[in-house]
Amino acid sequence: MTALRLLSIFAYLLSASICVAIGWYAWLRKPVPGAKPLAMLAFVEAEWCLTYLLQLLSPSLEGKLFWNNAQFFGAVAAPLFYLAFGVEYNRRSGLLSRFDWRWLTPVSLAVLGLIWTDGAHHLFRVEPALAQGSLFTHLRFTDGPLFGVFTVYAYTLIVITTLLILVHYLIANHLYRLQIGVLLVGILIPWVTSVVTALGWLPLRLHDATPLTFGLSNLVMAWALFRYHLFDLVPVARDLLIDSLQSGVIVLNDKACIMDVNPAGERILGMSLNQCVGKPLYEVLPIPAEWFKLAAQSSPLIQDFKLYPAGEETSYEIHISSLQTASGAVVGQVVALSDISDRIRVQEKLRHLAITDDLTGLFNRRYFSLLANQELERALRYRHDLSVILLDIDYFKLVNDTHGHLVGDQVLNQLAQECFLGLRAFDISARFGGEEFIIALPETDLDAASQTAERLRARAEKLRVDTDQGEIQITISLGVASLSQSPGRTLNQLIDCADQALYQAKNSGRNQVCVWEENPQTAAA
């Protein structure tokens, strides 16, 4: 046996061994999408390669025909598993999402059955015979009509698979085309070789050359699948997850310049990827450049800010995380922009509910105390004026008893809406409880507060409340107290003084304003 013959045998064995190793490696990683079809493809190509070698080594025509039939098991199964691989790959990007490659299994079995029954009809191999070559005795035959059926079947599946992955290559982001291109190269190696040899462009027979390329083809495909994690990362993360996210995702380099943007990010930026690539993000968005330095030092950084896409104010939360190498070097950053407008609106609504009276829309007693105490502290610190008005609807119990509580609520609401309109923006008005209301008047002395109270009384007297039970007229009584009467009082003391003045107004005939005055005898005591 010549050295060249031994080298040829070794080449086929090496190609088959690589296929088996890749198949086993992929099979152990079946949970990885695409690994199982790759394993099956590698196994059937190993079978194809080994049975072709056994065909070459068989001395008799009958032996060569037997191993040729065995060889076509791999030749028929390989295109089907190529298709399975391509479908699995493109399913994650949305292409052929409902197609099941196993539907074609009956077609493959039918083609294989026609080949294996050739001894009965001789429509696949016409006049098979032995032919002596330089290294091996070869099986020679004329291609019958069924050989054309096999050729159409095999190359149709191969072309479809290649086109599927090519389409995905064309629609993928440029950052991921290298990985998909590697996969395409692995797929095309044996089939380009088969086409080239079939056209006579290489001094080799078709079945001599193609099995030798299976090992290299599977190595490239496995490297693309497991090195780049094509199925785990690229199609899912980029084409399904990233592109479908409602949040904007922007990838920056170490100079904070934009390298990639998903569609949501393009909408937020108001420009396409091509328009913004290479630009510093802080020139595109109102984001201080210092934020990126802070994120690099203590990743991640979370901040809120506002934008005006389409002229409408929108609140966003920006989340900046650093991209680091295994050694810890920062090579870039990922910026996520989430629309939090709905959350802000809910928070504002909850805050509004927490600080307001749900019937009148005025502040509630708790929030009034908070704001009024702040004003009191400021007034005491800078020796400014501050006054309080406490008012009560006269004979309100009679309104409820006569007309019902729903009408009473209507009276309270209309009083709050119409009588308090003349107050200043920084005056603090609230429903104090029941039919009582309270107003804190910063920068207001006793005389000015009394005038304000009188205006409120006059408005209430003119107020006519239209109800289902007819028109209702009301009056109010008011008590006024001022910090200038007795400096150093607490808010509760000031409210108590206004309450005493209100009590005096009611005892004096109602529908009037009374001002609290400290009893000189009490002061002396």
The DSSP string of 326-358 is: TT--EEEEEEEEEE-HHHHHHHHHHHHHHHB-T
The Cα–Cα gap between 78 and 337 comes to 46
In tens, the pLDDT along 3-35 reads 888 888 898 999 999 999 988 988 887 776 677
Average pLDDT, the chain: 84
Is pLDDT above 60 for 238?
A: no
Residue 518: the pLDDT is 74
| Average of per-residue pLDDT across 406-416 | 93
Residue 413 to residues 363, 409, 434: CA-CA distances in angstroms?
13, 6, 12
The Cα–Cα gap between 316 and 299 comes to 19
Residue 158 three-state SS: helix
Residue 167's pLDDT band, with cuts at 50, 70 and 90, is: confident
Query: Residue 169 CB: number of other CB atoms within 10 A?
Result: 16
Residue 327: the pLDDT is 63
The lowest-confidence range among 164-173, 269-278, 343-352, 355-364 is: 164-173
- Which stretch, 260-269, 317-326, 391-400, has highest mean pLDDT? 391-400
CA R_g for the chain: 43
More confident site: 479 or 330: 479
Residue 221: the pLDDT is 79
The lowest-confidence range among 103-112, 154-163, 311-320, 450-459 is: 311-320
More confident site: 324 or 48: 48
Token pair of 299, please?
Answer: 């990743």
Percent residues over pLDDT 70 in the chain = 87
| Average of per-residue pLDDT across 260-276 | 85
Indicate the Cα dihedral angle 203, 209, 210, 212, nearest 10°.
-150
| Average of per-residue pLDDT across 315-340 | 80
Say whether 45 is catalytic.
no
- Which stretch, 116-120, 258-262, 465-469, has highest mean pLDDT? 116-120
Residue 499 three-state SS: helix
- Kindly provide the b/e burial profile for residues 16-53, where b requires at least 16 CB atoms within 10 angstroms of the residue's own CB: bebbbbbbebbeeeeebbbbbbbbbbbbbbbbbbbbbb
Query: Residue 120 CB: number of other CB atoms within 10 A?
Result: 7
Residue 224: the pLDDT is 74
Residue 284's pLDDT band, with cuts at 50, 70 and 90, is: confident
- Which stretch, 21-30, 92-101, 156-165, 439-448, has highest mean pLDDT? 439-448
Residue 519's pLDDT band, with cuts at 50, 70 and 90, is: low
| Dihedral sign for Cα atoms in the order 294, 297, 298, 301 | positive
420 within 8 A of 431, measured Cβ to Cβ: no
Q: Calculate ∠ Cα 214-60-119, nearest 5°.
A: 80
Residue 97's pLDDT band, with cuts at 50, 70 and 90, is: low
The Cα–Cα gap between 378 and 371 comes to 11
Is pLDDT above 70 for 174?
A: no
264 within 8 A of 246, measured Cβ to Cβ: yes
The Cα–Cα gap between 128 and 144 comes to 11
Is pLDDT above 70 for 203?
A: no
More confident site: 509 or 270: 509
Is pLDDT above 60 for 231?
A: no
Is pLDDT above 60 for 525?
A: no
The Cα–Cα gap between 321 and 172 comes to 24
More confident site: 324 or 74: 74
Residue 262: the pLDDT is 87
Say which of 435, 454, 471, 518 is annotated catalytic: 435
The Cα–Cα gap between 104 and 157 comes to 10
Residue 413: the pLDDT is 94
Residue 95's pLDDT band, with cuts at 50, 70 and 90, is: low
Residue 243's pLDDT band, with cuts at 50, 70 and 90, is: low
- Which stretch, 83-92, 258-267, 270-279, 359-368, has highest mean pLDDT? 359-368
Give the long-range contacts of residues 455-462, CB within 8 A, separation 24 or more.
Answer: 455/422, 456/389, 456/391, 456/419, 456/420, 456/422, 457/511, 457/512, 457/513, 459/418, 459/419, 459/422, 460/393, 460/415, 460/419, 461/511
Residue 290 half-sphere exposure toward CB, CA atoms < 13 A: 1
| Average of per-residue pLDDT across 325-348 | 81
Strand-by-strand arrangement of the 330-339 sheet: 258-261, 248-253, 330-339, 314-324, 301-307
In tens, the pLDDT along 434-491 reads 999 999 999 999 999 999 999 999 999 999 998 888 899 999 999 999 998 866 679 9
| Average of per-residue pLDDT across 238-253 | 72
Query: Residue 163 CB: number of other CB atoms within 10 A?
Result: 11
The lowest-confidence range among 127-136, 231-240, 253-262, 493-502 is: 231-240
Token pair of 465, please?
Answer: 């409340």
Residue 232: the pLDDT is 44
The lowest-confidence range among 187-191, 221-225, 429-433 is: 221-225
| Average of per-residue pLDDT across 389-407 | 93
Is pLDDT above 90 for 330?
A: no
The Cα–Cα gap between 67 and 293 comes to 68
Phi and psi angles of residue 173, each rounded to the nearest 5 degrees, phi first: -65, 150
Is pLDDT above 70 for 121?
A: yes
